[in-house]
């Protein structure tokens, strides 16, 4: 039987929304429309067996917020507030309802693909901000069916000042999310943001112990420094500290999960015209992926493409998604996982962690 893939991490944005993205730069690789139409194109080769792998198909995706221009406090004259993030919720509502707007790049048949929605939320504002904000999110989703797809939230901390994760309101916000049954996607960046972000994350998880048992889903292996020369990785100080901190995250709570995603933007880039050796990529990643599987276990690791960010360094939209799928297949083969464990990584772990019904 073909293996269903639940892609646990994708982003979507139509051309009309580009000016509301905090990172948008005209002319950049990501500075154009990336919609469901483009995602279907990027992942279309998954159903073929020409490469000899077991057949797979896209069962659906989990949308993760795209870092809109926003501020924790709404309604301030000197801040952007919540409007752009809520407009993003409305976009996903149209996708999930199969109610397309011309030019947004999705169709009525795409509604079944949207399995989960992880919007931005003002977590540093604590429950005082989260309660009215999530009420606004519920209004934007219009129906209980779409509201039920809102499985958690993300507030990117990779570009925030040190200490933000340890502020009392932040911890209180995470506790409130857990009490309401929402998850929290944790986005930190070991390579560009610094390993101190991982140290802070470990302390944050410990502060949550015994409170509301919020499920924390860690993005992209914490973006490790995959550019360390392969022959010196396992003795390199950055790798050794990353390994220690990842282990502590896994041990801090059984409700922490890791996304097997995001590597192409951290590796030395490949190009659309090149054809990288998948086995070499698996070799390069193995010291890092072995740690993740050793400490989390296959039961807490989920596949994510990080599309379209995977196009940066991955060879562009026609190549990167499928290349990453091949890399993950190689990683799972090296781990000698059971078929049940492989099925879990490709989809069932995400379904469990986010509480998705399919």
Closest by CA position to 90, among listed 132, 133, 134, 137: 137
* Alpha-carbon distance values, 95 to 101, 202, 270, 295, 355 (Å): 9, 36, 32, 36, 20
Which pLDDT band holds residue 209 (cuts at 50, 70, 90)? confident
pTM for the whole structure: 0.96
* Alpha-carbon distance values, 295 to 238, 253, 255, 320 (Å): 18, 12, 13, 28
Q: For the sheet with 256-260, list strands across it.
A: 152-154, 183-186, 216-218, 256-260, 301-303
Residue 96 sits at φ, ψ, to 5 deg, of -65, -30
In whole angstroms, what is the distance from residue 23 CA to residue 26 CA? 10
Q: 196-205, 228-237, 273-282 — which is least confidently predicted? A: 273-282
For 250-286, what is each residue's pLDDT tens digit? Answer: 999 999 999 999 999 999 877 666 788 999 999 999 9
**122 alpha-carbon distance from chain centroid:** 18
For 103-162, what is each residue's pLDDT tens digit? Answer: 999 999 999 999 999 999 999 999 999 999 999 999 999 999 999 999 999 999 999 999
What is residue 266's predicted lDDT score, i.e. its pLDDT? 95
* Average model confidence (pLDDT) across the chain: 95
Which pLDDT band holds residue 319 (cuts at 50, 70, 90)? very high
Strand partners, 78: none
Q: How many domains does the chain have?
A: 1
In whole angstroms, what is the distance from residue 300 CA to residue 258 CA? 6
pLDDT > 60? residue 51: no
Which pLDDT band holds residue 342 (cuts at 50, 70, 90)? very high
In whole angstroms, what is the distance from residue 53 CA to residue 326 CA? 9
SS3 state at 356: coil
Give the mean model confidence (pLDDT) for residues 52-80: 91
Which pLDDT band holds residue 47 (cuts at 50, 70, 90)? low
Task: Copy the structure tokens of residue 1.
Answer: 């039987």
What is residue 285's predicted lDDT score, i.e. its pLDDT? 98
What is residue 291's predicted lDDT score, i.e. its pLDDT? 98
CB 219 within 8 A of CB 259: yes
What is residue 52's predicted lDDT score, i.e. its pLDDT? 58
What is residue 217's predicted lDDT score, i.e. its pLDDT? 98
Closest by CA position to 354, among listed 3, 5, 8, 97: 8
DSSP state of 193: T
Residue 97 sits at φ, ψ, to 5 deg, of -90, -5
pLDDT > 80? residue 85: yes
- Domain, as residue range, for 291: 3-354
Which pLDDT band holds residue 75 (cuts at 50, 70, 90)? confident
CATH number of domain containing 167: 3.20.20.140
């Amino acid at each position: 039987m073909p293996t269903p893939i639940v892609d646990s991490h994708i982003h979507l944005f139509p051309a009309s929304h580009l000016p509301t993205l905090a990172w948008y730069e005209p002319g950049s690789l990501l500075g154009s429309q990336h919609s469901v139409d483009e995602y279907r194109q990027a992942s279309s080769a998954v159903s073929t067996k020409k490469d000899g792998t077991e057949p797979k198909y896209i069962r659906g995706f989990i949308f993760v917020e795209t870092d809109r221009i926003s501020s924790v406090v709404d309604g301030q004259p000197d801040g952007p507030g919540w409007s752009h993030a809520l407009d993003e919720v409305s976009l996903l509502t149209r996708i999930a309802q199969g109610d397309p707007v011309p030019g947004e790049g999705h169709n009525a048949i795409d509604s079944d693909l949207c399995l989960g929605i992880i919007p931005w939320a003002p977590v540093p504002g604590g429950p005082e901000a989260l309660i009215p904000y999530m009420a606004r999110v519920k209004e934007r989703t219009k129906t209980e069916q779409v509201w039920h797809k809102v499985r958690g939230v993300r507030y990117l901390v990779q570009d925030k000042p040190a200490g933000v994760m340890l502020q009392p309101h932040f911890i209180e916000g995470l506790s409130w999310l857990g009490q309401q049954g929402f998850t929290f996607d944790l986005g930190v960046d070991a390579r560009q943001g610094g390993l101190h972000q991982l140290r802070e994350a470990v302390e944050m998880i410990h502060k949550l112990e015994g409170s509301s048992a919020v499920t924390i889903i860690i993005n992209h292996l914490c973006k490790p420094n995959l550019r360390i020369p392969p022959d010196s990785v396992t003795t390199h100080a950055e790798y050794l500290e990353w390994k220690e901190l990842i282990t502590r995250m896994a041990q801090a709570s059984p409700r922490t999960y890791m996304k097997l995603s995001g590597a192409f933007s951290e590796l030395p880039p490949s190009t659309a015209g090149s054809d990288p050796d998948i086995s070499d990529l698996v070799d390069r990643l193995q010291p890092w992926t072995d740690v993740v599987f050793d400490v989390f276990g296959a039961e807490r690791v989920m596949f994510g493409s990080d599309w379209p960010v995977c196009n940066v360094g991955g060879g562009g939209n026609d190549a990167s998604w499928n290349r990453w799928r091949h890399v993950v297949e190689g990683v799972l083969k090296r781990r000698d996982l059971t078929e049940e464990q492989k099925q879990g990584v490709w989809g069932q772990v995400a379904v469990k962690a986010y509480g998705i019904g399919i």
